[in-house]
Amino acid sequence: MAESQYFGSQANRLDEIQPSGIRKMFARAQGLEGVISLGIGMPDLMPPQGLLDEMKLSLENTRAHGYTLNSGISALHEKIVAKYKEDYNIDFSTNGVVVGAGGTQIIYTAIYAYTNPGDEVIIPDPGFVYYPTVPMMAGCDVKPIALDEKFQFPIDKLTETVSSKTKLMILNSPNNPCGSVADEATTKAIADLANDHDFILLSDEVYEYIIFDGLKHYPLAKYAPEKTVTVNSFSKTYCVTGWRLGYGIGEKKLMEPLAKLHPFLVANAPSIPQFAISNFMGSPEDYEFRSHLREILEKRRDVVDKEFSKIPGVTVPKIEGSFYAFPKIESDKYRSDNPGYEFSEDIFEKAKVVTVPASEFGKSRWDHFRISFGSADEAKLKEAAERIIQNVE
């Protein structure tokens, strides 16, 4: 029998998509003895005990095992809306909340809900791997903008790039992979552009509570409420990346297209975590855990800044938030067209340390690499730096 013409075939929209290099490095490290993995963006702390207790209770709740409303349970909507009022004095309606299977699902849904083929989508470079890939799949014209030396959006370049075809702009603060936090002036300027030129801001704010040195998070919805869809997640806040629970929030009218498409991708987000988190949010332990997590990660940040700065030919830009560092390679030893990749491969083979080359995050900073200090304690971070020093000198 002749082989089917469809065997092994794929849709044309997948032709230019490459598998995630982050996941590839993560997979390579599995099962290898002595590997220190600084590759995956996953905190290694246990979730708060009170949240685990709520999960156990939810397992015994018959309602928690069935379908929920497409956009999530009302109790969770109410807690999310209350959080934004308390944290930022932003008034949202519960009708403007869509709970999804992680922040990434909300990003995917939003791009397909708001854009048409040929629309322009502006993204940061460097930026999270989803940002160019999903718009490209949707047939959009992706417009990367290289971040400046402080890893902020350069407003002059952004202004030049915005056109009548601009439909959506993706932002991320605190930033993955750069570890930067958008300042208020930049946030306001971007909001003004969106208001003036009538495009949507898709603001990825999943690291909002992981900010160091007394800096503040400035939510875009505060400055452009009619244009901003905020993407958030519980994964990093509570160290539950595998639970796959996030949400989008915005003004009700703006959220309607996202809410309309959402049930055709995911009937509802995982139900049991919804019940558990809605019961946990706003508890004393919730606030305590946020502070606890930030304190631990700030200490790790300090270790990274001190120890990785000792590596010959490597400089560490200021880390303001998230749990990523984005060191720059200035060594003459790595002189290929992609120094970050060359460096990451070298230290993986010689030092058994997993990092991620900057080429996974765009085209503007290939002389950098990313490390996650969410996934390794202070001792492991120091050991990783020492191993690298021994193998690059």
The reported pLDDT for the residue numbered 116 is 98
The reported pLDDT for the residue numbered 40 is 87
The reported pLDDT for the residue numbered 16 is 78
Of 224, 168, 167, the closest CA to residue 195 belongs to: 224
Reported as a single tens digit per residue, the pLDDT across 106-153 is: 999 999 999 999 999 999 999 999 999 999 999 999 999 999 999 999
* Tokens coding 216: 């503040």
Reported as a single tens digit per residue, the pLDDT across 304-356 is: 999 999 999 999 999 999 999 999 999 888 989 999 999 999 999 999 999 99
Return the CA Rg of the chain: 21
Of 102, 80, 67, the closest CA to residue 240 belongs to: 102
Query: Does residue 392 have a pLDDT over 90?
Result: no
C-alpha angle with apex 186: 185 to 189, nearest 5 degrees? 85
C-alpha angle with apex 14: 9 to 15, nearest 5 degrees? 80
Q: How far apart are CA 5 and CA 300, in angstroms?
A: 53
The reported pLDDT for the residue numbered 182 is 98
The reported pLDDT for the residue numbered 22 is 64
Contact indicator for 39, 361 with CB cutoff of 8 Å: no
Contact indicator for 191, 230 with CB cutoff of 8 Å: no
Reported as a single tens digit per residue, the pLDDT across 244-255 is: 999 999 999 999
Distance of CA 382 to the CA centre of its chain: 25
Reported as a single tens digit per residue, the pLDDT across 70-102 is: 999 999 999 999 999 999 999 999 999 999 999
pTM attached to this predicted model: 0.94
Give the domains, in start order, of the chain with CATH numbers.
12-46+286-390 (3.90.1150.10), 66-283 (3.40.640.10)
Phi, psi of 263 (to 5 degrees): -70, -15
For CA atoms 238, 241, 242, 248, give the dihedral sign.
positive
Reported as a single tens digit per residue, the pLDDT across 10-69 is: 888 888 787 766 666 666 767 678 999 999 889 999 999 999 999 999 999 999 999 999
The reported pLDDT for the residue numbered 165 is 98
Q: How far apart are CA 110 and CA 102, in angstroms?
A: 13
Q: How far apart are CA 17 and CA 53, in angstroms?
A: 41
C-alpha angle with apex 288: 37 to 318, nearest 5 degrees? 45
Tell me the C-alpha to C-alpha distance, in Å, between residue 335 and each of 149, 329, 339, 343, 361.
Answer: 21, 10, 6, 10, 20
Q: How far apart are CA 357 and CA 312, in angstroms?
A: 18
Contact indicator for 272, 247 with CB cutoff of 8 Å: no
Query: Using the 8-state DSSP alphabet, how is residue 376 labeled?
Result: S
Count CB atoms within 10 A of the CB of residue 350.
13
Distance of CA 243 to the CA centre of its chain: 15
C-alpha angle with apex 333: 332 to 337, nearest 5 degrees? 80
* Tokens coding 83: 């959080």
The reported pLDDT for the residue numbered 18 is 74
Q: How far apart are CA 366 and CA 278, in angstroms?
A: 42
Q: How far apart are CA 52 and CA 304, in angstroms?
A: 30
- The per-residue b/e assignment along 92-106, b for 16 or more CB within 10 angstroms, e otherwise, is bebebbbbbbbbbbb
